[in-house]
Amino acid sequence: MGMADGTPVGRRVVLGMLAAGVGGVLFGSKAATVLERVVAPLALRDGTGLLSLFPVGRFRFYSVTGPVPARSEAEYRLAVGGAVATPLTLTLADLRALPVTRLTEDFVCVTGWRVHDVKWKGVRLSELLDRAGVAGSAQGVLFRSFDGLYTETLSLAQARRDDVIVAYEMEGGPVIHDHGGPVRLYCAPMFGYKSIKWLDRIELTEADPGPGYWANRGYDIDGWLPGAEGRVDRPG
Ligand SMILES: Nc1nc2c(c(=O)[nH]1)N[C@H]1C(S)=C(S)[C@@H](COP(=O)(O)O)O[C@H]1N2
Ligand SMILES: [Mo]
């Protein structure tokens, strides 16, 4: 989200050309293109986070916490816990060994930017829930990020949709760090803020998990894209 939604760019907003060093941290030292090195460091800071002003590739990057320490594919673990029969700790290899789901959908941020036909690959969240064995007492799902701040939540029915995946590939390659890699949630029927980046824990909660990071700040807790709630999964 980043740009103060629906409000004119106000005095809180400082348009800063970040020092090249800061851009390097935010966008990764392995930035592949000149675009990423030269253009991406032009960022808008609005008091809630940092948003790249110009697309990098087809995307903008957004993080409420600014730079997030990278986690390598080898050290990455995803925990599934809380109200489950069998808590899981999954490596990236474990995730890749599970049945694959591919989705191609527009990625839509509530602030107005949209990326058409983004290809995602991962494992259905429902697959992980089934493997962990959701307890009858579970009321919802809470997602945590290794940025240490961002959270998201889904109802059990939302979490079981066919178009909600734990994604490890995007646009034909690994989910890169800036996009929340090695693993992020991709919740196709909802606005981008539901797709938590740098996912490291999925928790089945005994109470209603309530709002996540942005819903706590006024956004709709469900975040349905127009028409998407009743939509059936379109694989591909
Ligand atoms: N951990 C974390 N996840 C996050 C965010 C964030 O700031 N931190 N921003 C959300 C918002 S508002 C959007 S639009 C998308 C942006 O994804 P991108 O940076 O890959 O374009 O990630 C979502 N997930
Ligand atoms: Mo967003």
152 and 38 within one domain: no
**110 and 142, same domain (yes or no):** yes
Residue 142 inside a domain? The answer is yes
Q: Is residue 183 part of a domain?
A: yes
Is residue 127 assigned to a domain? Answer: yes
Residues 198 and 139 in one domain: yes
Q: Are 10 and 4 in contact (CB under 8 A)?
A: yes
Q: Is residue 222 part of a domain?
A: no
**197 CA distance to ligand 1 middle (Å):** 6
101 & 182 share domain: yes
31 within some domain: yes
Position 25 pLDDT exceeds 60: no
What pTM value is reported for the model?
Answer: 0.82
State residue 34's pLDDT score. 38
- Any atom of ligand 1 within 6 Å of the Cβ of 193: yes
Question: Are 88 and 122 members of one domain?
Answer: yes
**Shared-domain flag, residues 120 and 85:** yes
Q: Which of 62, 220, 225 to mutate to test the pocket of ligand 1 (most atoms within 8 A of CB)?
A: 62
Say yes or no: 128 and 40 in one domain. no
The Cα–Cα gap between 137 and 185 comes to: 24
Domain ranges, residue 180: 78-217
For ligand 1, say whether the CB of 1 is within 6 Å of any of its atoms.
Answer: yes
User: Do residues 144 and 106 both lie within one domain?
Assistant: yes
**Quick one: pLDDT band at residue 232, thresholds 50, 70, 90?**
confident
The verdict on residue 6 lying in a domain is: no
Residues 98 and 199 in one domain: yes
pLDDT by residue (tens digit) across 68-87? 999 999 999 999 999 999 99
**Structural domain includes residue 227:** no
Cα-Cα end-to-end distance for the chain: 27
What total of structural domains would you count in the chain?
2
Q: Which of 191, 196, 195, 187 shows the shortest CA–CA distance to 225?
A: 191
Instruction: Quote the CA–CA distance of 104 and 122 in Å, as a whole number.
Output: 12
Place of tokens 């760019």: 9
Summarised one tens digit per residue, pLDDT across range 137-187 is: 999 999 999 999 999 999 999 999 999 999 999 999 999 999 999 999 999
pLDDT at residue 111 in the model: 85
118 and 185 inside one domain: yes
